[in-house]
Amino acid sequence: MWSRLVVEMKKFAVIGSFLFFFLGAFATYRRLILAQYQVDYFMYGYSLVESLILAKVIMLGDMLHFGDRFRGKPHIVPVLYRTVVFSLLVLVFTMLEAMVRGLGLTGGVAELRHTTHAAMAAKMLVMFIAFVPMFAIWEIANVVGPGKLFEMFFERGERVDVQLAEQTSVAGR
């Protein structure tokens, strides 16, 4: 039980860090653009919280086996499926964020009206672009097996030997 908790916490940390990297970069970009107009913008804490929430949602999606019905198909199919589904969830969370900022349904609807569609679309596009490599790496990790991707990138001097036959048999499951 504890080993599974440790594995899930590591996965959560990796996903959250990856998402925070992109959301933080997006916040930095907005900050630099707004600084040209002498507008202060410092939303890194919000980016951290949002990345952790999205990481948890992605992990729940994995527990619910999102994309598993595409096993045996080309690996781009589950990658794009997860990318689209979770990008739409980003849109939902962006709308919920506006509702929370507006403190209630009435204020939230007013806040949602003030949030431009372009800003929501830009956020969704950035997350879509972030999700493609994330889910591609995730799919590769599923193909090569538990711990093998980590070994490929972080183990010293050892070559991970994964035969093509093993890859296709894992993908066919």
**Ramachandran category for residue 147: left, alpha or beta (phi over 0 → left; psi -120 to 50 → alpha):** left
What sign does the dihedral 126-131-136-137 (CA atoms) show? positive
Asked whether residue 75 is assigned to any structural domain, the reply reads yes
Q: What is the pLDDT of residue 92?
A: 79
Asked whether residue 10 is assigned to any structural domain, the reply reads yes
Asked whether residue 159 is assigned to any structural domain, the reply reads no
Asked whether residue 157 is assigned to any structural domain, the reply reads no
Structure tokens at 17: 């860090």
Q: What is the pLDDT of residue 13?
A: 92
Q: What is the pLDDT of residue 16?
A: 93
Asked whether residue 156 is assigned to any structural domain, the reply reads no
Structure tokens at 147: 């711990």
Low-confidence ranges of the chain (pLDDT < 70): 98-99, 101-116, 156-173
Asked whether residue 169 is assigned to any structural domain, the reply reads no
Number of compact structural domains in the chain? 1
Question: Residue 14 in contact with residue 149, Cβ under 8 Å?
Answer: no
Asked whether residue 160 is assigned to any structural domain, the reply reads no
Question: Residue 15 in contact with residue 134, Cβ under 8 Å?
Answer: yes
Quote the domain boundaries for residue 17.
Answer: 2-150
